[in-house]
Chains A and B, each alone.
Chain A
Amino acid sequence: MMLVLFGASIILFVCLFIVPGDPIATSQGEGRQLDPSTRAALERRYNLDKPLPQQYVGYLGRLAQGDLGESYVYRRSVNTILKEKLGNTARLAVAAIVLEIALGIVAGIIAAVFRYSFLDVLVTLSTTFAIGVPTLVIGLALQNVFAINLGWLPLQGQTAGGRSIILPALTLAAVETALVSRLMRGTMSEVMRADFIRTAYAKGLSKKVVILKHALRNSVIPVLTFLGISFGGLLGGALITETVFNWNGIGLALVGAIQSQDNPIVLGVVTYGVAVFVLVNLVVDVAYAFLDPRIRLE
């Protein structure tokens, strides 16, 4: 895991320096000719006056102490900037994943159990719709209905407390919920045809027990893998949703930083993203073991 992080940081560091452009000129007021003295002061401040390997070593040294450096543009600690944004991204991700689990799994089970019924068709149609329509359109449509026309929920921002999160979470969860329910329906339908389910029914177990205890547990593993990866992705920020709802999260930070060549933020976000991805994968692997005894270590 450390190896992955280390490799990623090297690749990224080198990439950022290969990209043409002048981060000091760009970040500090695009195109304005800096006077040599201000430039020298800034290069010294950000260690840009040293050779690349030395900069990298310095970066790793600070990283080891948990220090991600200072933003070129905002002249604030990247740790502080990311901390604000991480909290927001995490809240949105949790809200979205809860929606995905609740709506996606339930819809999937219903569709699988009542195959070819009206409900199943409804789920299939609505998931097709959710997958087909771009997130941007879903977000804008929700805004138009609930913020502009009905005025029930805030259009954007995070200053209205818990009400602020509803629309962005719905938008963010829409596509993934649809995917979860389809996946759930697929695996569950397969499991429902398996011999052990027939055996369970033959034992005289109630339908509820068969579905929730035997079928669900056996069909949820692929869904869990998917949810894990999805959650990892959500924690990495959701650019479109964050943009539409002016949600101060990681996705926006990354795009803004790339555009202004604010390299310390780019490095910070990507390092964080890699770490999250690696960690979530680890957690999912461990969760398998709980769900499927065959995967447990002897």
Chain B
Amino acid sequence: MRFTGPRTRVGVAAVCLALLAAACGGDDNDGAGGQTGGQQQSGGEAKKGGVFRIPIGEPAAIDPYNARESEGSNVTVRLFTGLVTYDGNNDLKMRPGVAERWNANNDCTEWTFNLRRGTKFHNGEEVDANSFIRGWTRAAIGTAASQVSYHLQQIQGYGPLHATPPTAQTFTGLSAPDPYTLVAKLDAGDCEFDKQLVHPVASPVPSNAGDARNTTFNEAPVGNGPFMIKPGTKWEHNQRISLVRNDNYFGNKPNIDGIEFVIFPAQGRLEAEYRAFTAGEVDFARIPPTLFKQAEGTYRPQGSFIKSEQPGINYLLINNARPPFNNADARKAVSMAIDREAINQGVYQGSLTSATAFITPPFGSFYQAGVCGDWCKYDVNKAKEAAQRGGLTPGTRIKLAYNNDGGHEPLVQAWKEQLERNLGLVVELDGVPFAEHLQKRDRGDFDIARAAWSTDYPSPDGFTTPLLGSTSEDNDGKYSNPEVDRLLALSKTQKSDADRERTIKEIERIAIGRDLALAPTYYRTAYRVFDSNKWTGLGLDFFERPTLETASLK
């Protein structure tokens, strides 16, 4: 899977899920919508039993040290439970995992986690504070070459430990005063550090896990989660991974007996998994964009259709660092000159929701509908006026960059056509493969670009710091506003949720509502089909994974 995320300079954890999906061959059911249609909760006592068959691509890793893409982490999160968990509620609050309680000191530089006693790994070994220190160190050490250990980079001592070659063997910032207390000291205050720990890289590992190159553990990780690798089996590469319920799990035990991950090749995977679903060989599938209407028509009436708002955002990335778009009016002109809704209907079969804000609806009370104001509304006259004010004269040549391996041609063609018709611009399309596209964006070799972003921890800070902070390497538009930078730094150390919410909202009002640093286009909505004759209680969580912990036989 392809995948992009934060650069290490910004202390945040975010992955560009929408881009990742798009780059995987047109799997781009982005945008957002209303309610989650297919989610049903079974009434009364849920039935036990059944093996849920779910298609995935061949993971890069299911060992938590490098569970770096959606495929692998879909498996890893079933096998491991970290200190905290997140149930996807819009309050964005973490729930207890192995930690019962946790708190931070006043400036959020030191975090103390109090662990439950008596929770066990699948092999019977007790999970204690050292299990976490072991797991985090194993992932962070330079020789492991983990690509997700940056989630732990705020902890003191990460630098020397992660160096190549490592100049330290341990985190100086981690300690276990007693087996059930874990203390983490950070280099700088972060009042949302606990949220970063939902990533599977922050899992505990048992004492026999060995280092990152222990193939036995790589192929059949021994975790502490609600499911375990089916005894006697291991990851059958390119074929399947079989899990069974862990009956000794300390938390809510799943209803289903097991999960079978059926592995599909990346080539034509979307079509293949959907066909396998129609043939009854898997219980769940994504939907190829071309079949979206047909799938909705067939499966929605049956209650087999899942529509789920996801935190991701699609946007028009604008190069703030050079003319003509170093002028806010010029940015607003292009944003108002594109007809989001017409494109949604024409190109995406109405499967998206046009954005009116940057921070998306799944962020609950952080969501400020309409904060983008007129700038996100299609209005040719206002666009022309803004263009005039911003010096975006007819005939101006601009370069529109996009990745040409994600099926985005219809979108960028529509943008080009609308910008040329409405503002008289000359739009040059620059489509290259994903990796190269990101390099171009890095270099600032574009005027506007198609972009998408999401976060893998439940905080809007996963949007604001990487995309709006002037020192962030993910801020390809090079938006820079000292006031926003000051507020971003402030929000990091605000312990009170209410204070932090106020600050983040203020940031969005300035950077989007006033400056239009980038132009939000669509909220991301994910769609799936599942076998509702057999299963109930299934939806998608915040991370776009099926909620197998609550699913049950009908």
Contact = CB atoms under 8 A, between A and B. Distances in A.
Contacts of B442: 33
B147 A28 contact: yes
Q: Interface residues of A toward B: which range?
A: 35 or more
A72 to B, nearest CB: 10
B162 interface: yes
Contacts, number: 129
A48 interface: no
A29 B162 contact: no
B143 A41 contact: yes
B443 interface: no
A281 interface: no
Interface string B1-35: 01111011000000010011001000000000000
Contacts of A52: none
Interface string B229-262: 0000000011110000000000000000000001
Contacts of B19: 31
A218 interface: no
Interface in B139-174: 142-147, 149-150, 162-164
Contacts of A41: 142-145, 164
A225 interface: no
A73 interface: yes
Nearest to A160: B281
B58 interface: yes
Contact of A32 (B142, B147, B164, B436): B147
Contacts of A73: 60
Interface stretch (A7-15, A120-128, A241-249, A270-278): A241-249
Contacts of A28: 147
Nearest to B238: A248
Interface string B116-153: 00000000000000000000000000111111011000
A38 B23 contact: no
Contacts of A154: 281
Contact of A155 (B239, B276, B433, B473): B276
B109 to A, nearest CB: 22
Nearest to B405: A259
A32 B5 contact: yes
A248 B263 CA distance: 10
Interface string A211-252: 000000000000000000000000000010011101010001
A156 B162 contact: no
Given A31-B4, A31-B435, A33-B473, A74 B142 contact: no
Contacts of A143: 275, 279
A156 B145 contact: no
A35 B276 contact: no
Interface string A60-104: 000000000000011110000100110000000000000000000
A50 interface: no
A252 B263 CA distance: 13
Interface in B264-312: 264-268, 272, 275-276, 278-279, 281
B68 interface: yes
B69 interface: yes
Interface residues of B, number: 54
B315 interface: no
Given A74-B58, A248-B239, A156 B146 contact: no
A248 B57 CA distance: 12
Nearest to A33: B7
A246 B265 contact: yes
A159 B66 CA distance: 28
A243 B23 contact: no
Contacts of B149: 38
Contacts of A85: 238
B239 A30 contact: no
A26 B435 contact: yes
Interface in A32-47: 32-35, 37-38, 40-42, 44-45
A42 B145 contact: yes
A30 B163 contact: no
Contacts of B61: 74-75
B2 A81 contact: no
B179 to A, nearest CB: 31
B475 to A, nearest CB: 12
A28 B148 CA distance: 11
A41 to B, nearest CB: 4
A147 interface: yes
A157 B143 contact: no
Contacts of B20: 30
A21 B275 contact: no
A255 B238 CA distance: 14
Contacts of B66: 75
23 contacts: A21-B435, A25-B435, A26-B435, A29-B147, A30-B434, A31-B437, A31-B439, A32-B4, A33-B442, A37-B162, A38-B142, A38-B145, A38-B146, A74-B237, A148-B278, A154-B281, A155-B275, A155-B281, A157-B281, A243-B267, A243-B268, A246-B276, A259-B266
Given A29-B3, A40-B164, A252-B267, 15 more contacts: A21-B435, A30-B23, A32-B5, A33-B7, A35-B150, A35-B162, A37-B163, A38-B146, A38-B149, A38-B162, A74-B237, A156-B276, A157-B281, A252-B265, A256-B265
| Nearest 4 A/B pairs, CB to CB | A30-B2, A31-B438, A40-B164, A41-B145
Interface of A: 20-22, 25-26, 28-35, 37-38, 40-42, 44-45, 73-76, 81, 84-85, 143, 147-148, 151, 154-159, 239, 242-244, 246, 248, 252, 255-256, 259
